[in-house]
Amino acid sequence: AQSVSQHNHHVILSEAASLELGCNYSYGGTVNLFWYVQYPGQHLQLLLKYFSGDPLVKGIKGFEAEFIKSKFSFNLRKPSVQWSDTAEYFCAVNSFSSNTGKLIFGQGTTLQVKP
Amino acid sequence: DAGVIQSPRHEVTEMGQEVTLRCKPISGHNSLFWYRQTMMRGLELLIYFNNNVPIDDSGMPEDRFSAKMPNASFSTLKIQPSEPRDSAVYFCASTLGSSSYNEQFFGPGTRLTVL
């Protein structure tokens, strides 16, 4: 069965620090990969997605993620975080071959940015 | 343009009572997903519909849970009888089409507390 693992459950950074959140998935076939963000009190929003092509994808608000197929990883990065990036971040995957919208989410990582 | 609408936003009920959560997907979207978010288990897919038909309900925890989608613009998730362990935030999401490329748009969620 597919699964998604996010290694960091709670990350605390100071403003301007660099961010990297880990995401690994288990599935042998072709996958589509997503990062969603949930700001306090709000619903989930899409940050970025990878389907094919350049493995380095850029999303909104200065976020980017790199797909490394050999490592089954899709880590999220941002060079310099802001207080407003405080939120919960979810990595998600679905199977290209299933051709459905069914997403499998990781447990989420809570990011707290100190001003 | 209205996003996914969920009601109620908050629900507090007593154990044994019936609870009905409602969702209106984005107009024109034909896939709808119900998720449950808890601290312990993260974000879990409960069931999803495509063109009003349930496609995968393997995530529904037990027979106390049921979901319907009588038409393209409305879905319900019912818990009967409710138990304290059902306390969670329940999200509804919709997509245009059923392929694995489609971004899911989430509603604001219903925070359910069962006393």
Q: Which residues of A touch B48 (CB under 8 A)?
A: 100-102
**A67 beta partners:** A74
Count of other CB atoms within 10 angstroms of residue B61: 13
- If one compares A95 and B93, the residue with the highest pLDDT of the two is B93
Coil, helix or strand at residue A38: strand
Question: DSSP label at A86?
Answer: -
Has residue A11 got a pLDDT over 90?
Answer: yes
The model's confidence at residue B42, banded by pLDDT at 50, 70 and 90, is: confident
Please report how many Cα atoms fall inside a 13 Å half-sphere around the Cα of residue A22, on the Cβ side: 10
Residue in B45, B48, B103 nearest the CB of A49:
B103
* Cβ–Cβ < 8 Å for A83, A72: no
The model's confidence at residue A100, banded by pLDDT at 50, 70 and 90, is: low
Phi, psi of A113 (to 5 degrees): -105, 120
**A49 beta partners:** A34
The model's confidence at residue B68, banded by pLDDT at 50, 70 and 90, is: very high
Residue B26 to residues B8, B30, B38, Cα–Cα distance (Å) = 17, 9, 25
Question: Which residue matches tokens 């343009």?
Answer: B1
The model's confidence at residue A96, banded by pLDDT at 50, 70 and 90, is: low
The rounded mean pLDDT for chain A is 90
Q: Which residues of A touch B44 (CB under 8 A)?
A: 105
* Cβ–Cβ < 8 Å for A111, A86: yes
Q: Which residues of A touch B35 (CB under 8 A)?
A: 105
Give the residue among B102, B16, B97, B91 at the shortest CA–CA distance from B59. B91
Would the CB atoms of A99 and B107 count as touching at under 8 Å?
Answer: no
Would the CB atoms of B48 and A101 count as touching at under 8 Å?
Answer: yes
